[in-house]
Amino acid sequence: MEASRRRSQHGANGANGANGANGANGANGANGANGKGSGQEEQPAQWGRAWEVDWFSLCSVVGLLCFAPFIVFYFVMACDQYQCSVSQPLVELLRGETTLLSIWARAPSFTWTAAKIYAVWVGFQLFLYMCVPDVSHKFIPGYVGGVQDGARTPAGLINKYEINGLQCWLITHALWYANAQHFLWFSPTIIFDNWIPLMWCANILGYAVASFAFAKAYLFPSNSDDCKFTGNIFYNYMMGIEFNPRVGKWFDFKLFFNGRPGIVAWTLINLSYMAKQQELYGHVTNSMVLVNVLQAVYVLDFFWNEAWYLKTIDICHDHFGWYLGWGDCVWLPYLYTLQGLYLVYHPVQLSSGHALAVLLLGLVGYYIFRSANHQKDLFRRTEGSCSIWGRKPAHIECSYRSADGGVHRSKLMTSGFWGVARHLNYTGDLMGSLAYCAACGFGHVLPYFYVVYMTILLVHRCVRDEHRCGSKYGKDWKRYTDAVPYRLIPGVF
């Protein structure tokens, strides 16, 4: 085991450099980017997870493993028991008017009905993922589906993926619609009606899948050269050991859990909230329509660009552990949909001006997010032989050295959105996030959790990315940051 562990680490180091994804160690040595002597031994700057775990990281990891489910529970319980007030439960606890035990006792518990619904849901998504070959790319112009290559893994492997997410989403939603309009097998409010019991089921799956991935990494890893171990068991469990755990040739844990049960459910959950509003109040508010439409645009964008998504940081750099497994099963479906849940309890009807402002903010944010991502993708795919905003893109030529000593070339674009700020794709994403929250009016803070969380996530990601790129490109990265000095908001940050 130890020998294979050492082999794994060696393999990962070398190949990181070779594909340039994490080739920071070589670049540092070559360029002295961090101002350290070339003879000084360094750990490679890594995405996703570290090689060594300090005490602060360890405490955060243990804290999250123990308390993250209760953070999710707190928000959902606040809606269920306190009309979505996040402060009221705390106030009552502090005043001694309630206890943790009585809050817990009032919350709906696990039910077998919810377990059956959840099992059918995950089983159905699994069936679609595994058994429905993508044909939509043959009929939809511009859509890239079917079998696609992933990015090269740290060990130098290129995995194949069957990209059929758009088709799975369409089939699932067509069935939902057919049921609501015609078959009436179940009520469209079924998700809302079982929301907390379903949360316990999602938690069981989240922890089970993380535990399975953890054991699998030790017992039968898909590729031992792509495993990454630290000496800390909690950190390994949380951030994952295997890079791309698979069962068989096609079942890829990362793609399935990142891109199926949680994200396909996102739009259905919103539709269920909409149906509940209709049932409770006899009408659907414009705020609920806005949240449904704006978030559906975001979800559909994800599936339309699923092949592109294979090349983003989540798939290219993160290992699969509790962070992705539990996060995709619980955190995403429960906390990304808080706006719709809030609107069931507070059916806000926005003035036309407010609704229009939210729509504009959401659509402009989406436009910036999508265009910035598209510009970089086009630029990298064509190696700069393309047109961005009507002209050939300006760029900075960069080089980096990989761990095997090879020198590689790359380009950083300084045109289009990438010339305005270094991460305008994140800015667009944040504008969209703010729009979902602002659709809920200004009565409570709960629906604003999403934009606060996304700001922390993306600012942290931005800093991590810059650290990695600085290590990888050295003085060339400095030339880029001189040419494009701001990260997210020109003139501010």
Q: Is 279 helix (H, G, I), strand (E, B) or coil?
A: helix
CB 309, min distance to ligand NDP, A: 8
Provide the token pair at 321.
């552990």
**Least CB distance from residue 349 to ligand NDP, whole Å?**
28
- Residues 287, 439 contacting (CB under 8 angstroms): yes
Phi-psi region of 87 (alpha: psi -120 to 50; beta: other; left: phi over 0): alpha
Give the residue with the Cβ less far from ligand NDP, 82 or 379.
379
Considering only residues 128, 412, 421, 446, which one is a binding residue for ligand NDP as defined by CB under 6 A?
412
- Contact window for ligand NDP (CB under 6 A) among 134-142, 179-187, 280-288, 406-414: 406-414
410 binds ligand NDP (CB under 6 A): yes
Site string for ligand NDP, 327-356 (x = CB under 6 A): ------------------------------
Among 205, 213, 263, 413, indicate the residue that binds ligand NDP (CB under 6 A): 413
Rounded Cα gap, residues 238 and 321, in angstroms: 5
Residues 6 or more apart whose CB falls under 8 angstroms from that of 61 comprise 53, 232, 234, 235, 238, 239
Q: Residue 191 and residue 334: Cα distance in Å, rounded?
A: 11
Q: Is 27 in the site for ligand NDP (CB under 6 A)?
A: no
Report d(CA 47, CA 45) in Å as an integer. Answer: 7
Q: From residue 37 to residue 66, what is the string marking binding to ligand NDP with x (rule CB under 6 A)?
A: ------------------------------
For position 366 contacting ligand NDP by CB under 6 A, the verdict is no
Q: What is each CA distance from 128 to 49, 123, 392, in whole angstroms? A: 31, 9, 42
Q: Taking contact as CB under 6 A, which single stretch among the options 150-158, 211-219, 425-433, 442-450 is the one that binds ligand NDP?
A: 425-433
Residue 323 neighbours by CB under 8 Å, 6+ apart: 238, 239, 240
Measured between its terminal Cα atoms, the distance across the chain in Å is 47
Q: Dihedrals φ, ψ of 161, to 5°?
A: -130, 140
- 376: contact with ligand NDP by CB under 6 A: yes
CB closer to ligand NDP, 111 vs 399:
399
Q: Which residues, numbered 202-241, are part of the site for ligand NDP (CB under 6 A)?
A: none
Binding to ligand NDP (CB under 6 A): which residues in 268-327?
A: 312-313
Which residue lies nearer to ligand NDP by CB, 277 or 295?
A: 295
- Residue in this structure with the two tokens 């990891």, named with its chain if needed: 61
Q: Is 465 in the site for ligand NDP (CB under 6 A)?
A: yes
Q: Which two tokens stand for residue 383?
A: 């190696």
429 contacts ligand NDP (rule: CB under 6 A) = yes
Q: Please, what is the minimum distance in Å from the beta carbon of residue 45 to ligand NDP?
A: 11
Which member of 369, 417, 436, 449 binds ligand NDP (CB under 6 A)? 369
Residue of 409, 412, 430 whose CA lies nearest to 375:
412
Q: Looking at 62-197, which runs of residues are DSSP E strands?
A: 146-152, 158-163
Q: How many residues bind ligand NDP (CB under 6 A)?
A: 19
Other beta carbons within 10 Å of 34: 15
Task: Report in angstroms how near the CB of residue 9 gets to ligand NDP at its nearest.
Answer: 21
Q: Residue 80 or 318: which CB sits closer to ligand NDP?
A: 318
Please give the biggest Cα pair distance in the chain: 72
Residue closer to ligand NDP (CB basis): 65 or 459: 459
Of 467-486, binders to ligand NDP (CB under 6 A) are 469, 472
Question: Toward ligand NDP, which CB reaches closer, 53 or 413?
Answer: 413
3-state DSSP helix/strand/coil % of the chain, to nearest 5? 65, 5, 30
Residues that bind ligand NDP (CB under 6 A): 312-313, 369, 373, 376, 379-380, 410, 412-413, 418, 423, 425-426, 429, 461, 465, 469, 472
